[in-house]
Amino acid sequence: MKKLAILASVSAMALGAVEARADYILDILHTNDLHSRIESINKYDSTCSADDEKENKCFGGIARVRTMVSDRRFAFGKEKANLLVLDAGDQFQGSLFYSTYKGKAAAEFMNQIGYDAMAIGNHEFDDGAENLGEFIAKVAFPLISGNTIAEKGSVLDGKYKDYVVFERGGEKIAVVSVLAADTKETSSPGDSISFTDPIEYLNGIVPKIEAEGINKIIALTHVGIEEDKRIAANVKGIDVIVGGHSHTLLSNTDEKAYGPYPLMVDNPDGVKVPIVTAYAYSKYLGELSVVFDDAGKVIAADGVPHLLDSSVKPDAGMAARVAALGAPIEELKTKQVGMTSAPIDGDRNSCRLQECSMGDLVTDAMLDRVEGQGVQIAITNGGGLRASIDQGDVTMGEVLTVLPFQNTLSTFELSGKDIVGSLENGVSETADVAGRFAQVAGLRYAWDESVEPGQGRVKQVQVMENGEWKDINPDKMYKVVSNNFMRAGGDGYKLFKENGQNAYDYGPGLETVVADYLSKNNPYTPKTEGRIVKGTSFDMAQAETSKKEPMAEMPKEEPKAEMPAATPAAEAPKAEAPAAEMTKTEEKPAMAETGDYVIQAGDNLWDLARKFYGDATEWKKIEEANGVENVRRLKIGDTIKIPK
């Protein structure tokens, strides 16, 4: 493949044609959020089977990454191009390779690929600072994170860099990195590590880098796409952002992408900053070419995320090494624990925003395990569910891909008031698709996204008692089961840590609990039951009639990933529809004779298609009929047409 023709795509930045070859061109290859997907993956982002590999249905895997990096490096070498190979963090956690080798395999393969630098991701701290230190000692490239502060004398003190400077083609390029400031809540860095605000840090360090005479600065971040956009808009002097953390796909050809590749955001001086990120799980290799003028100003940027599908042949030597390392865990991976009659949806855009069938499975399994102890309620974080499971036989390897964190069951007592407060935390960061969203069993709740976070989004909570749903009693102590990460205050569940009573945090592994439950309920039928609804209260009749209904099979194109709920327009008042209008899913909402429909809180094209056509995959009819520019941002109060 020929080098990307930047000069043909300058119009993307509305800056006119660039003809002078004296302008400096920097090429960047980048990955992010591999999450130990050392082996190839299937369409559900879990480990691909040997049969699917033979049928050319697999993606990614570290051997494909090496093939593509090697091919592109060879092409760039012939052109004497200026190249950097970067990773935006979260190599750790996500498969049996990490559970078994704790980063050793990732270090070996990244060294062979030849990365130039890697950002520290939040999951690099999952097994503590010492484990990260061992990884740093094994890799042949620097790890960087400027807003991550290690105490003097601690295990990571002096082990990583704030930023690094590379020289390519006679020019110096600084690569600076920041990590999400809530990493103490989402991982386990320990007391010796702290985090400062990313934007505050960058506004302090960029002028210092510029004072060294460096006018080309790349931010290699692990903060997520929304924070990347805020960084671009609020920090002068950053030329390019290469990001990770939010598992965001940017693409100019994939209609399911969050936005174009690169995504352009104006900085405080009105200069356009290209932002790139390449989804996750080794499925893509990002490639960005950037043109700088003599003053170091970006005047053009163009690129593509390369899909590493079956057309990319895995590097033979690396594939053989992957197979050798995988041999000791193959028996466990292939052990069948049950079967499922339909796919079980564990997609992050489902489980971090709404009730999902994987959340129901996991919380049902948790509650079933400890119900004999009088436990009534199960709560787990949507971010702890890392993959879907396809229809058919379910192996232990698949379960471990869904639940890779080796969490244990934790039981404790918590007041109704604190349970409601904890659910409020769970729905506080849905705009960022944060992992704290609560999946539940033995409990159901209604929440209103139009309310500001932390200001009473949770409108009603009910607990199953003696076969009936009853409003939660704020003064009553309830027995709860969760996982040990949340019980320790992870994902913002401070009330679990501070107010939980009679706690036991050393129960069986969550993956074992789920595997046992699947075996006990074999074959398993995935379902959702109206446990989590958007609105001000429950429609009791709807919730009861849907209680035992299985979930429809997941659509192949997974349009839910494109359909976050409607958000209020800046000028629109907050809408609170009656409960029956907010929560019913079986009957169509009332329409005017003209076929008009007024967007309400919680609406998305997916649900509207299900209501009007009985088929959620027909959402594009509504999109096309209304010329919807951004399917992620339906505005409450807008009127759209529902075509016949």
Distance between CA atoms of 202 and 209, rounded to whole angstroms? 10
Distance between CA atoms of 281 and 404, rounded to whole angstroms? 14
Distance between CA atoms of 262 and 273, rounded to whole angstroms? 9
Closest by CA position to 397, among listed 496, 500, 514: 514
User: pLDDT tens digits for 549-580?
Assistant: 333 333 333 333 333 334 333 333 333 333 32
Whether the per-residue pLDDT at 311 is higher than 60: the answer is yes
Question: Percent of the chain beyond pLDDT 90?
Answer: 69
User: pLDDT tens digits for 384-413?
Assistant: 999 999 999 999 999 998 998 878 899 999
DSSP-derived letter for residue 212 is T
Which pLDDT score is estimated for 286? 98
Which pLDDT score is estimated for 22? 61
**What is the secondary structure of 478-534 as a DSSP string?**
EEEEEEHHHHTTGGG-HHHHHH-EEEE----BHHHHHHHHHHHTPSB--B--SSEEE
Domains and CATH numbers, the chain: 25-320 (3.60.21.10), 336-545 (3.90.780.10), 559-641 (3.10.350)
Task: Assign 396 to helix, strand or coil.
Answer: helix
Which pLDDT score is estimated for 563? 33
Q: Output the six-digit token pair for 620.
A: 């594009």
User: pLDDT tens digits for 139-156?
Assistant: 999 999 999 999 999 999
Q: Which residue has the higher pLDDT, 262 or 583?
A: 262
* One-letter amino acid of 58: C
Q: What mean pLDDT is reported for the chain?
A: 86
Q: Residues 158-171, buried b or exposed e (16+ Cβ, 10 A)? A: ebbbbbbebebeee
Distance between CA atoms of 235 and 176, rounded to whole angstroms? 13
Which pLDDT score is estimated for 597? 78
* One-letter amino acid of 516: D
Which pLDDT score is estimated for 389? 95
**What is the secondary structure of 260-329 as a DSSP string?**
-SSEEEE-TTS-EEEEE-B-STTSEEEEEEEEE-TTS-EEEEEEEEEE--TTSPPPHHHHHHHHHHHHHH
Q: Which residue has the higher pLDDT, 590 or 48?
A: 48
End-to-end CA distance of the chain: 46
Closest by CA position to 501, among listed 480, 522, 470, 525: 480
Instruction: Answer whether 0.85 is exceeded by the pTM.
Output: no
Contact 222, 179 (CB under 8 A): yes
Q: Which residue has the higher pLDDT, 601 or 495?
A: 495
Whether the per-residue pLDDT at 8 is higher than 70: the answer is no
Whether the per-residue pLDDT at 56 is higher than 90: the answer is yes
Closest by CA position to 362, among listed 339, 382, 376: 382
